[in-house]
Chains A and B, each alone.
Chain A
Amino acid sequence: MKNMIVFKELDANGLDYLALLGWLLVFIVAGLGSSWYMEHNGHIVTGMTNQIVWGMPHVFAVFMIIAASGALNIASISSVFQRKMYKPLARISAILAIALLAGGLMVLVLDLGRPDRLIVAMTKYNFKSIFAWNIYLYSGFFVVVLVYLWMMMERRMNRYARAAGIFAFVWRLALTTGTGSIFGFLVARQAYDPAIMAPMFITMSFSFGLAIFILLLLFTYKATNRPLGDRILFMLKNLLGVFAAAVLYFIVVRHLSNLYATHRHGVEAFILLNGGVYTALFWIGAVLMGCVLPIALLFHPATGKSCSAIMLSCWLVILGGLAQIYVIIIGGQAYPLDIFPGYQVSSSFFDGVVHPYAPSLPEILLGLSGMATAVFIVAIAMRYLPILPMSLSDAAVDPSHDKSK
């Protein structure tokens, strides 16, 4: 019983905790206000147009939705793959997954043209639409993960935790496949429709979700003065490095296979060479910040053991990830539809030209409010539920370390 992990609610009645909640509420209210402003005036007050129909809210929403499934990975590693060192992190991993999905969906729903018709989306289904499937996958994710969490937290149900964990793992793979397939099924557009979108999104989810998870651990354990040992931190950072490399691999494969097809040369040139902000975001954001720099920082002997370098790597993965989603969603729409291959096209509806897009403040605030909502849910859960181990010191998390004593 000596090395048994003790979970305990945060003893957070101080001003710092309340100030954090206060700031998060400010962002949440700002996002809700933005949504009201957008719905009241119509989407004309956003940067979105009839050509760029999905804007900044979708970037945040898709990022959070795929990060949510990635955040659950830590729990999956402990339950599905029986890695005991990850077990203390499983509860917070599940909570973060739920919180991120809730934040992402909030943004997605509040950006609808008619969010008041959410009940229509919940009751009328077209099962040929991957969106309709996603409604089931997303709402099912909440149920599946909550049940999984219950199995983990209720001693009498512990024996079912592994089965629930395996089910949740499969569900999360399906969820990210569904999210990636939103773009995988669009035959109309040059930038989309390859089947590689689904596995690429799964890999991205591993990377983004873990980066957020590590940041959450570092921040929480520092703020609460609970011990966080190097063993678990280095294990997580190594995993993040591998995931970032896997994302880079998928980026390379996707663009190489696109370059093989002559009819995709135009859109590839746009993203890789002459797309202005999209090209910059691709190379500097998605590739350099999202993959290359974190890999270098995490695996370099000097920086790999530095807490601040690990933290920086996590931020880089998050910002690079947002850039990557931005390039996929916005860049893919900015490149004009190829309705008449071989023809130079023009019209009053901006056929044949690259479509401009500048995100408006309400869109950005709405996106940030989704992030704030996720953190708010986690902060409240930590305060009222025993999900965070009292200690993640090397001795606490590693049984072999304990035996050697």
Chain B
Amino acid sequence: MTTQDQKEGQDQKEGISRRRLLSTAGAGMATIALASGVTLISRAQATPRVRGVGVPASSKIRWGFLVNTNSDPSDWDTCVAACKKENGWANTGHPNTDPQWIRKVSLKDKRTGAATSLPMMCQHCEFPPCVDVCPTGASMRRADGIVLVDRHRCIGCRYCMMACPYGARSFVHHDLHNQRPSMPRGKGTVESCTLCVHRIDTGKNPACVDALQAKGSKAIIFGDLNDPNSEISREVARYLTTRIRDDLALEPGVLYRGL
């Protein structure tokens, strides 16, 4: 499209005839219309926001989060509350054993004293250690980068919790009540942030992202890291970002800005 505009500009400068100008412009318009149609189709194929029943997840997509750690610290409380509400986990008065799919972590630089906070959840690694160590394959990475636990296959060995560098997983230590139909859980199995896979597959954003947007915050941008035109990709290309424990080369799908 840009090339076409430039070409038109050059033609005008060269003082071409009116008829030639009109025919060129007509051809240009047709090209633009066709090109945008093609672009729309190709984008729709690259990021099918609604995944049909029985359609496998596509490796053309890489879902991810960009977290802006310079945001209002209360934003992370919003995320935690939204995740609890959406997925049905809660504090039961046993802080050592209560599951936490997402948590607010406060950081203070030991040398400078500078402080910040951020949300910590499953980092949806490209090379997840939890998936590597799981003996039964219950821990798995979907083609689109979402790391999940198959609750029917998990035997509750907790090796994945030993292997996760982020402390992102929880073991269900007690009976469960008031489960959400969209997010079945299981006593004696391991669980963690699913990136709200049930929402993503129906074309929605994860609950934490929607909750932030509802309060006018863009503290977390969600999207397809493989799509160069997505907002997350544009932001990631514009600002320096950090992957936590990058030394382990796990290629997390969650990136942090401002760390």
Query: Taking A113-B172, A185-B133 as contacts, is the C-beta distance between A51 and B156 under 8 angstroms?
Result: no
B110 adjacent to A345 (CB under 8 Å): no
Chain A residues lying within 8 Å of B244, measured Cβ to Cβ, are 339-340
Chain B residues lying within 8 Å of A301, measured Cβ to Cβ, are none
Chain B residues lying within 8 Å of A347, measured Cβ to Cβ, are 103-106, 120
Q: What's the Cα separation between A51 and B158 when bound, in Å?
A: 11
Q: What's the Cα separation between A340 and B108 when bound, in Å?
A: 10
Q: What's the Cα separation between A340 and B129 when bound, in Å?
A: 18
**Contact residues of A between 113 and 147, Cβ < 8 Å to B:** 113-115, 117-118, 120-121, 124-126, 128-132, 134-135
A125 adjacent to B136 (CB under 8 Å): yes
A50 at the interface (CB under 8 A from B): yes
Interface size class of A (residues with CB under 8 A): 35 or more
Q: What's the Cα separation between A17 and B161 when bound, in Å?
A: 44
B103 adjacent to A128 (CB under 8 Å): no
Question: What is the interface size of chain B, counting residues whose CB is below 8 A from a CB of the partner?
Answer: 54
B194 at the interface (CB under 8 A from A): no
B155 adjacent to A121 (CB under 8 Å): yes
Query: Taking A42-B173, A345-B106, A346-B105 as contacts, is the C-beta distance between A186 and B163 under 8 angstroms?
Result: yes
**Contact residues of B between 56 and 103, Cβ < 8 Å to A:** 94-100, 103
Chain A residues lying within 8 Å of B186, measured Cβ to Cβ, are 114
Q: What's the Cα separation between A113 and B176 when bound, in Å?
A: 14
Partner among A41, A50, A342 whose Cβ is within 8 Å of the Cβ of B96: A50
Query: Taking A51-B167, A347-B120 as contacts, is the C-beta distance between A43 and B173 under 8 angstroms?
Result: yes
Query: Taking A120-B153, A131-B159, A188-B129 as contacts, is the C-beta distance between A125 and B97 under 8 angstroms?
Result: no
Q: Using an 8 Å CB-CB cutoff, how does the interface string of A248-274 with B read, 1 for contact, 0 for none? A: 000000000000000000000000000
Query: Taking A113-B155, A113-B189 as contacts, is the C-beta distance between A342 and B133 under 8 angstroms?
Result: no
A39 at the interface (CB under 8 A from B): yes
**Contact residues of B between 119 and 169, Cβ < 8 Å to A:** 120, 129, 131-138, 153-159, 161-167
User: Which of A3-11, A63-71, A288-296, A348-356 lies at the binding interface?
Assistant: A348-356
Q: What's the Cα separation between A50 and B132 when bound, in Å?
A: 20
* Chain A nearest Cβ from B147, distance in angstroms: 14
Residue of A nearest to B154 (CB): A114
* Chain A nearest Cβ from B256, distance in angstroms: 11
Chain A residues lying within 8 Å of B190, measured Cβ to Cβ, are 113
Q: What's the Cα separation between A112 and B133 when bound, in Å?
A: 16
Binding site for A on B (CB under 8 A): 94-100, 103-111, 120, 129, 131-138, 153-159, 161-167, 170-175, 186-190, 244-245, 248
Across the A-B interface, the 3 shortest Cβ-Cβ residue pairs: A113-B156, A113-B188, A131-B135
What are 16 contact pairs spanning A and B, CB under 8 A?
A42-B188, A44-B173, A50-B98, A53-B161, A114-B188, A117-B156, A124-B136, A182-B159, A186-B129, A187-B163, A339-B167, A340-B244, A343-B107, A345-B106, A351-B103, A351-B105
